[in-house]
Structure 1
Amino acid sequence: MISVYADLAIGLVLAFLLLSLLVSGVNEAFVRLLGIRSKFLWAYLRDTMDGGSSEGTSWIPSKIADVFAKLPFSKNDPRPRHSPDPAPPVVAPMPVDPATVLAAEAPVPDVDMTERLYRRLQEIDHPKGARTTISDIPPERFSGAVMELVSAEEGGVEGLIAKLEAIHSPLAGHLRGVWKGAEADMEKFRAGVESWFDGEMQRLSGLYRRYVKWVVFALGVALTLLFSMDALEYGKTLLRDNAFRAGVAAIAGGSEDGLTALKDKCSADGAAEPYECVTESLSSPALVKIFDNAIVSITVPPEGGDPSLNWNGGVWWDRLITPGHWPGYLLTAVALLFGAPFWWDVLRRLTGFRNRG
């Protein structure tokens, strides 16, 4: 009896794992195709270094619908233009005189700090379009880029911070706090910038994951309905499949305990020959039939040949509008929220499989 429930658990976990991998694959393809991860990072850098867009609004939308509906398709791409050249060997000083700007109350100079940062990072870029594809900046690389910008200014860190304050860059306040904490020690300042940026990336990753989980949930619901995956019905199918195989094994061992189940199974499937019925059932376990109720299913001929696609629109729609399947659909959608890594870990624990380093 324990093995029956173990088989049920493994079958359900494996089904959830396969669907979670499919959801993750679709989500990753969507993110890579639209460059969402890269745009999200550079939108944050625009807000941090330049203080938002030219309209005075944040580059990162505040609503999830805008993050995945506006940010990917906006004409104002926050990413700098890609440059195939290596980083310039000499960093030009920032063309700002803070004393003149503050004394004359002149308009804030148009200095693209994000572009200046990119010039120090473009060596890790990949040519995949007109815009940069950098979606992850190592903290030590960011701190190195800041130190290169510092070295270009006559006043060092103080000179750079003064110019950032003159152009109203939000980065000025962050660097000012790190510089005071470092007590004018350049090595401590670099370590402080690295630590600060690492914390910012962790915070940004958490924000991105909160946005992505809603997209993953929407994809999970869509794929659950598209494949008509009723977890409760699938669990019952696994139990029936296990019981039928146990009956066949009992008959093969000389017992007639499973004969009734075999006759019922074969008569329900319309098979005249028990041998044909057993062969078909054993070669088509419940896992193979997991997507049989999808709007389009794949059938492999028993005698061999090329697989064929079958349109199941009518049956699929009847299942979709049947309230009895809704709890199973809900259970499947909720299970997919845990993600493929979670179900892979559960599967390893159930099967006793251990990774070897």
Structure 2
Amino acid sequence: MLSTYIDLALGLILLFLLLSLLVSGLNEAVVRMLSIRSKFLWAYLRDTLDGSDAQGKSWLPSKIREVFGSLPFLRDPRPAHDSRPAPSESSEMPAQEDKAQDAMTVLLYERVREIDHPKRGRTSIADLPPERFSVAMMEMAAREPGGVEGLLEKLKAMNSPLYGHLKGVWETAQRDLDRFRQGVEGWFDSEMQRLSMLYRRYVRWVVAALALLVTLLFTMDGLEYTKTLLRDNGFRASVTAVASAPGAYDELKARCAQADPVPCITETLSQPALLTMLDQGIVRIALPAEGDPSITWNGGAWWDRLTTPSHWPGFLLTYVALLFGAPFWWDLFRRLTGIRSRR
């Protein structure tokens, strides 16, 4: 009896692990295709260095709908890619009080573009090391006549939000250049941690949407899968009992409804319950013993299954399980099976 429950637990964990990996793969594909990480970084940099755009709207998304709309598709905050190495000296900062369009963002990219490679004409930088950012600030300060003081005056004249941050770091460092560089590095590192937390919060909504999509496309009923696992275990026990209990053969023959139940038994034992459940999706993938795999449309049966209220609690169970994520289910699977981590 204990082995039956262990098989049930392993089967459920394996199902949720595989589907969670599918959700994670889809999420990573969407993130890479739309360059979401890079856009998040440069949206933050534009807000921090140059402030909001002319319409007074922040580049960084503030609402969930902006994650699914404006940031990935409509507003691209990334600078245009430049394959040239960073120049020996920084370009001149605008002297007028009315700041040039994204002047600080362009100047920063000019100092860090050596670590860039093109992606559809835009920068692909998605991770800016704090050390590189602090060095870029020092290079900009070295270009100004008054050093850091001159840079701060230019930032104040441009009404850049970066002025307040650097001014505080400069005063805390007591006007020591080395301590100022370290302070800028520490400040930017903490800002990147905050940005990462914001990014993960938005990604949770994307994962939730993808988990719902996977659950509905595969119509994966977690409760039905549990019953299928238990039924398969009972069926296998009946097959095992044939050798010692001749009466069990009649039960198997009645279940298979054939003159010779051996082919039916062989087919049932060779097809795990997981493959049986995956056949309920919007498309059906057949893996015959002989011949090539085939993919067939299963829209009619899928829609009937999707609109059957008795399956909805199972769909909800699967959806909630996928929200835990693949790392959770892998850790649970590893603990239950005794697989040790390399660490």
What residue number does 1:4 align with?
A: 4
Asked if 2 retains the 8 angstrom alpha-carbon contact of 1:15 and 1:290, the reply is no
Asked if 1 retains the 8 angstrom alpha-carbon contact of 2:91 and 2:107, the reply is no
Q: CA deviation at 1:61?
A: 2.6
Asked if 2 retains the 8 angstrom alpha-carbon contact of 1:93 and 1:149, the reply is no
2:118 aligns to what SS in structure 1? coil
What residue number does 1:134 align with?
A: 125
Match for residue 203 of structure 2 among 195, 212, 218: 212
Name the count of aligned residue pairs.
343
What residue number does 1:55 align with?
A: 55
- Report the more deviating stretch, 4-13 or 148-157: 148-157
What residue number does 2:149 align with?
A: 158
Q: CA deviation at 1:213?
A: 1.0
What residue number does 2:275 align with?
A: 288
Q: CA deviation at 1:344?
A: 0.9
For the structure 1 residues 107 and 145, does the alpha-carbon distance in structure 2 shift closer, same or farther, using more than 3 Å as the test?
closer
Are 1:45 and 2:45 counterparts? Answer: yes
Q: CA deviation at 1:270?
A: 4.1
Question: Within 5 Å, which residues of 2 pair with 1:86-125?
Answer: 86-96=85-95, 107-110=98-101, 112-125=103-116
Amino acid at match of 1:224: T
Amino acid at match of 1:83: D
Q: CA deviation at 1:85?
A: 1.2
Q: Give the TM-score taking structure 2 as reference length.
A: 0.94
Q: Percent identity?
A: 61
Instruction: Find the aligned partners of 1:297 and 1:199 in 2 and give their Cα distance.
Output: 49
When the two chains are superposed, the root-mean-square deviation of aligned CA atoms in Å is 1.8
Amino acid at match of 1:87: A
For the structure 1 residues 184 and 118, does the alpha-carbon distance in structure 2 shift closer, same or farther, using more than 3 Å as the test?
same
Asked if 1 retains the 8 angstrom alpha-carbon contact of 2:46 and 2:102, the reply is no
Amino acid at match of 1:130: G
Instruction: Find the aligned partners of 1:249 and 1:88 in 2 and give their Cα distance.
Output: 77
For the structure 1 residues 270 and 54, does the alpha-carbon distance in structure 2 shift closer, same or farther, using more than 3 Å as the test?
farther
1:165-186 Cα distance to aligned partner (Å, 9 max, x none): 1100001111111112222222
Instruction: Find the aligned partners of 1:336 and 1:218 in 2 and give their Cα distance.
Output: 11
Amino acid at match of 2:244: S
Are 1:256 and 2:242 counterparts? Answer: no
What residue number does 1:85 align with?
A: 84
Amino acid at match of 1:121: V
Q: CA deviation at 1:15?
A: 0.7
1:58 aligns to what SS in structure 2? coil
Amino acid at match of 2:48: T
Asked if 1 retains the 8 angstrom alpha-carbon contact of 2:252 and 2:261, the reply is no
Instruction: Find the aligned partners of 1:263 and 1:137 in 2 and give their Cα distance.
Output: 70
- Report the more deviating stretch, 172-181 or 305-314: 305-314
Amino acid at match of 1:79: R
For the structure 1 residues 330 and 266, does the alpha-carbon distance in structure 2 shift closer, same or farther, using more than 3 Å as the test?
farther
- Report the more deviating stretch, 324-333 or 269-278: 269-278
Asked if 2 retains the 8 angstrom alpha-carbon contact of 1:60 and 1:67, the reply is no
1:312-350 Cα distance to aligned partner (Å, 9 max, x none): 222211111111110110111111111111111111111
What residue number does 2:233 align with?
A: 242
